[in-house]
Amino acid sequence: MAPRYSVCIDIGGTFTDCVVASERGLDIHKTASTPPAFERGFMDSLRLAAQDSELDLGAFLTATGTIVHGTTVSTNALIEGRTARVGLICNEGHPDVLTLREAPRKRAFDWKLDFPRPFVPRNRTCEVRGRIDARGNELIPLHEADVHDAVKYLQSCPVDAVAVSLLWSVVAPAHERRVREIIQDLWPDVPVTLGHELNPIPREYRRTISAAIDASLTGVMPAYLERVEGAVRDAGFTGSLLVANCIGGMMTVEEIARRPIYSIMSGPTLTPVAAQMLCNEPDMVVIDMGGTTFDVSAIRSGRLIVTTEAMINDDLLGLPKIDVRSVGAGGGSIAWVDPGGLLRVGPKSAGAIPGPACYGRGGDQPTVTDANLTLGILDPAYFLGGRVTLDPEAARAAISPIAERINLSIEEAAYAIHVTSNENMIAAIEDITVNEGLDPRDSYFVAGGGAIGCHIGEMARTLGIARFMVPRLAAGLSAHGGLVSDIRGEASATHPTSNHNFALGGVNETLLRLRAQGDAFLERAGVPLSQRRFAYAFQARYKYQSWEIDVPFDDAPLGTGDIPVLADAFHQMHERIYTIKNETDEVEFTTWTVRAVGLREAVVGDHVWDRTSHRSPLGTRRVFIGAERAFQALPVHDASALGAGESVNGPAILDSRTTTVLILAGQRATIDDQGNCCVERTNSAPQTGLAS
């Protein structure tokens, strides 16, 4: 029997989102996350979905063909320092690669900044003699006795995993492979990550840090995925379990367990994938306000933006990933007053346990959610469709000390928290737009996250945004992205050349080898030949530049006529990122990548939003107006009862089971044929304050 359901479960810091696709369309379910045993929240969300489908859990899972899982487990483990202890084996004379990094390019003149500690400390770093040059020649043979000594030392430390990163292993990997053979002979149980296999690029810091990060997660992700898979299989699931990765797709459990670094920051990368499915705007800014973080990404000319500069704590990730930037500005972000008397919001969050004060789970710190409840934006009796009742008095009690510190009423203090949170999110938006030479007003905004509807109207007004969308499944936008994304993997190799003397034969040979690796990846994932697609990219720079950028191109093998096309693509990308280009300069190509895509067909019916409508407001709700320092009664509409094409003029509130959208004066919300809330500005006059 054909599967009736596809499911994506995205675990956040506060809530676990479960989006279910079936012949009747898409449904969303939210449950509290359950740190540190996140698999409990995973199963809780499935039980809720089964209950909504009027099935027991076993029957629901039997009828489910695919479960996609987006998780923050690896990201949280790195941020909180709960990873495996890693030992590093490197070349003699080069033990400080992780200490020196690539020099502190950011905040170069911040004299108060303490130099960050290396990801692997010196006392767990071992040097071995042996040297390969940039052309792959062996200058010094590998001293195997040094490797034996290193293994004995690391066993005594002890360490849980070993990363091996030797100079120019991307050109000639024999030394790295021999080091692994010796380690496995002497210490068969320890996981080993080789830099040239994981991240074959010429830059030794990025290759080394990615190997070290990957090794540090070998004890975290496989164990977690084993618990999740065990729980769901025991409950009756026999379909495919896939895990989101950081390149905008998913991998099998086995692939992620083999290369756990690809799970870092993976959930947020699904959000722009969902935005691409929801609308066909070529240039978009996609935002997602969760309980703990606010994530921002961009789509340019219909393409997801890939960055090679992603950071995790004080280190680069080292791998290209979808460019999603996060700040600590979510619904659970805690408000506080600094020693100078200034109000701050975040980055610390109340999380899922205990959560905001209004949840009634023991939290007593004022959060953004408490502020929105105090302002009247949220309905205390209809949070998560009425499954959770919020406590307004607890919210006011939590905000009261803040109000006293900054000498405002509780309502004014709540509004100050709300506005401060907006400014934090606007700064993140400007980082990915204004700071890169882009005008945010030229982009269409897609706003996700359960809390975003309370804020996006005023943020759009401040930024001068004329149009934005709050999707029907905004509260689970990442999970929605998991349902519509494809299986994705990538293979890379170094082959330096330039457009002035292009090594066409060598590059094509490299691309052919990488495509074979991509085919093998898709074969392991069980993707049929008819569903396999391949995308290509290179990393390049102007001659004498220090840093490469990632540039996609259309197809391979290459011909002589493609060389100027590649160079022109680099010039255009360089101009987009840095606002300048020099078409007369020589372009140096360093790394080539093949991205393997396995197309998936989700179980989704051809659902069109019901055109019958019920326009009568549910009533009114008193919302605090910042500009007037007073409450005003706003009409409240049931968003799920509005038909396709129906419009609501602000000021008004649109309530749904998982999202509340505040429409300001001068804005009009229209429901599209998929039930999404599309908002446009109806006047050009600048305004301030909630619904003023």
In this predicted structure, what is the pLDDT of residue 307?
86
Closest CA to 242 of 481, 558, 513, 450: 481
**One domain, residues 103 and 167:** yes
| Domain presence at residue 59 | yes
Mean pLDDT over residues 159-163, rounded?
96
Instruction: Count other Cβ atoms within 10 Å, centred on residue 400.
Output: 14
Mean pLDDT over residues 200-222, rounded?
94
Mean pLDDT over residues 521-531, rounded?
93
**One domain, residues 249 and 238:** yes
**One domain, residues 519 and 575:** yes
Which residues is 344 bridged to in the sheet?
Answer: 336
For residue 127, the surrounding DSSP H or E stretch is strand 125-128
**One domain, residues 156 and 257:** no
Based on DSSP, count helices (H) and strands (E) in the chain, helices before strands.
18, 35
356: preceding bond cis by omega (within 30 degrees):
no
In the chain, the number of structural domains is: 3
| Domain presence at residue 45 | yes
Q: What angle do CA 144, 148, 150 make, to 5 degrees?
A: 110
Mean pLDDT over residues 365-386, rounded?
92
**One domain, residues 193 and 88:** yes
Q: Which range marks the domain in which residue 509 is found?
A: 489-598
In this predicted structure, what is the pLDDT of residue 602?
61
In this predicted structure, what is the pLDDT of residue 566?
97
**One domain, residues 243 and 254:** yes
**Tokens found for residue 483:** 């349902």
Q: d(Cα 642, Cα 562) in Å, to the nearest integer?
A: 52
**One domain, residues 170 and 131:** yes
Pick the most confident of 65-79, 291-305, 394-408: 394-408
CB 425 within 8 A of CB 287: yes
3-state helix vs strand vs coil in the chain, percent to 5:
35, 25, 40
Using pLDDT thresholds of 50, 70 and 90, give the confidence band for residue 685: very low
**One domain, residues 114 and 190:** yes
Using pLDDT thresholds of 50, 70 and 90, give the confidence band for residue 616: low
In this predicted structure, what is the pLDDT of residue 296?
94
Q: Which of 561, 578, 598 is the last residue of a domain?
A: 598
Using pLDDT thresholds of 50, 70 and 90, give the confidence band for residue 691: very low
- Please report which residue ranges of 464-590 form alpha helices under DSSP H: 477-484, 504-524, 563-578
- Weakest mean pLDDT among 223-232, 562-571, 679-688: 679-688
Is pLDDT of 263 > 70?
Answer: yes
| Domain presence at residue 682 | no
CB 84 within 8 A of CB 74: no
In this predicted structure, what is the pLDDT of residue 686?
45
**One domain, residues 258 and 156:** no
Q: What is the DSSP track for 131-184? A: EE-TTS-EEE---HHHHHHHHHHHHHTT-SEEEE--TTTTT--HHHHHHHHHHH
| Domain presence at residue 115 | yes
Q: d(Cα 410, Cα 631) in Å, to the nearest integer?
A: 13
**One domain, residues 18 and 124:** no
Indicate if the alpha-carbon torsion angle 167, 169, 172, 176 is positive or negative: positive
For residue 492, the surrounding DSSP H or E stretch is strand 487-498
| Domain presence at residue 19 | yes
In this predicted structure, what is the pLDDT of residue 611?
47
- Weakest mean pLDDT among 129-133, 188-192, 543-547: 543-547
Which residues is 208 bridged to in the sheet?
Answer: none
CB 357 within 8 A of CB 16: no
Q: d(Cα 218, Cα 599) in Å, to the nearest integer?
A: 28
Mean pLDDT over residues 204-232, rounded?
94
Cβ density class 236-257: b for 16+ within 10 Å, e for less: ebebbbbbbbbbbbbbbbebbb
**DSSP class of 692:** -
Three-class SS state of 277: helix
Instruction: Count other Cβ atoms within 10 Å, centred on residue 80.
Output: 9
| Domain presence at residue 26 | yes
Q: d(Cα 664, Cα 687) in Å, to the nearest integer?
A: 9
| Domain presence at residue 257 | yes
Using pLDDT thresholds of 50, 70 and 90, give the confidence band for residue 320: confident
Is pLDDT of 607 > 70?
Answer: no
In this predicted structure, what is the pLDDT of residue 3?
72
How big is the chain by its Cα radius of gyration, in Å? 26
Instruction: Count other Cβ atoms within 10 Å, centred on residue 471.
Output: 26
- Weakest mean pLDDT among 39-48, 403-412, 586-595, 624-633: 624-633
CB 45 within 8 A of CB 12: no
What mean pLDDT, rounded, does the chain reach?
90
Is pLDDT of 688 > 50?
Answer: no
Place of tokens 């209004």: 358
In this predicted structure, what is the pLDDT of residue 34?
84
In this predicted structure, what is the pLDDT of residue 469?
96
Q: What is the DSSP track for 170-232? A: TT--HHHHHHHHHHHHH-TTS-EEEHHHH---S-HHHHHHHHHHHHHTTTTHHHHHHHHHHHH
Cβ density class 661-691: b for 16+ within 10 Å, e for less: bbbbbbbebebbebbbbbbebeeeeebebbb
**DSSP class of 383:** B
Pick the most confident of 65-79, 205-219, 344-358, 572-586: 205-219
| Domain presence at residue 559 | yes
**Tokens found for residue 220:** 């975290």
Q: What is the CATH number of the domain that holds 14?
A: 3.30.420.40
Phi then psi dihedrals of residue 661, to 5 deg? -115, 125
Q: What angle do CA 145, 151, 154 make, to 5 degrees?
A: 140
**One domain, residues 156 and 231:** no
Phi then psi dihedrals of residue 647, to 5 deg? -125, 150
Three-class SS state of 89: strand
Mean pLDDT over residues 90-99, rounded?
95
Residue 171 CA to its chain's centroid (Å): 32
Indicate if the alpha-carbon torsion angle 461, 659, 30, 416 is positive or negative: positive
**On the CB side of 115, how many CA atoms lie within 13 Å of its CA?**
8
- Weakest mean pLDDT among 126-135, 578-587, 602-611, 647-656: 602-611
Is pLDDT of 597 > 90?
Answer: yes
Q: Using CB atoms within 10 A of its CB, is residue 156 exposed (0-12), middle (13-18) or buried (19+)?
A: exposed
Q: d(Cα 263, Cα 504) in Å, to the nearest integer?
A: 34
In this predicted structure, what is the pLDDT of residue 641?
86
In this predicted structure, what is the pLDDT of residue 618?
75
Indicate if the alpha-carbon torsion angle 601, 319, 442, 424 is positive or negative: positive
Closest CA to 199 of 169, 172, 222, 220: 169
